[in-house]
Amino acid sequence: MLYFEDIEVGEADAFGRYEVTREEVIEFARRYDPQPFHLSDEAAAQTHFGRIAASGWHSCSMTMAMIVARGKERPQAALGAAGIDELRWLKPVYPGDVLRVDTQVLDKRASVRRPGIGSLRTQVTTYNQKGEPVLRMIAATLIRCRPAADHTEGQ
């Protein structure tokens, strides 16, 4: 289990493979973002999307699925996210795309108000199969510090 003390600023990771299907794009959009350009190629053809494209929230959710799967391979004492800054949908995500993720830790800070907890700011970039960045964001997440009893195991 990786704790706050184990995370190094600048540390990068690359992972994930998410195949975007037309069925899933439409299912997500029907429920959460039923704008015409997420539901129909005809409607999307009249916009800059050109053809049916995933909801931006769906792209975030698929990115999260890859992040959580990575966390199971490389467990962290994660306590969830406080927020996101500078979320940008850089390119449309289309059915047939295969997504992957790069992360880099930008900074870390021990909580003054909450001893035993630290926060990380991590830049997350999602790419399609052509290597084009489709989504970028900075995630502020909380992570537990190493429990006192474990200090001797430390680095």
Check binding of 116 to a copy of itself (CB under 8 A). no
Check binding of 106 to a copy of itself (CB under 8 A). no
Near a copy of itself by CB under 8 A, which window of 6-14, 85-93, 102-110, 125-133?
Answer: 85-93
Check binding of 2 to a copy of itself (CB under 8 A). no
Distances from the Cα of 26 to the Cα of 33, 35, 52, 68, angstroms = 9, 10, 9, 23
Cβ-Cβ contacts under 8 Å for 13 (sequence gap 6 or more): 70, 74, 102, 103, 104
Measure the CA–CA gap between 37 and 52, rounded to whole angstroms. Answer: 6
Cβ-Cβ contacts under 8 Å for 130 (sequence gap 6 or more): none
Minimal distance, residue 140 CB to a copy of itself, in Å: 9
42-81 footprint of a copy of itself as x/- string (CB under 8 A): -----xxx-----xxxx-xxx-xx--x--x------xxxx
Measure the CA–CA gap between 38 and 93, rounded to whole angstroms. Answer: 10
Residue 36 is encoded by which pair of tokens?
């015409």
Beta-carbon-side half-sphere exposure of residue 79 (alpha carbons within 13 Å): 14
9-48 footprint of a copy of itself as x/- string (CB under 8 A): -------------------x--xxxxx-x---------xx
Check binding of 86 to a copy of itself (CB under 8 A). yes
Residues of this chain that interact with a copy of itself (CB under 8 A) are 28, 31-35, 37, 47-49, 55-58, 60-62, 64-65, 68, 71, 78-89
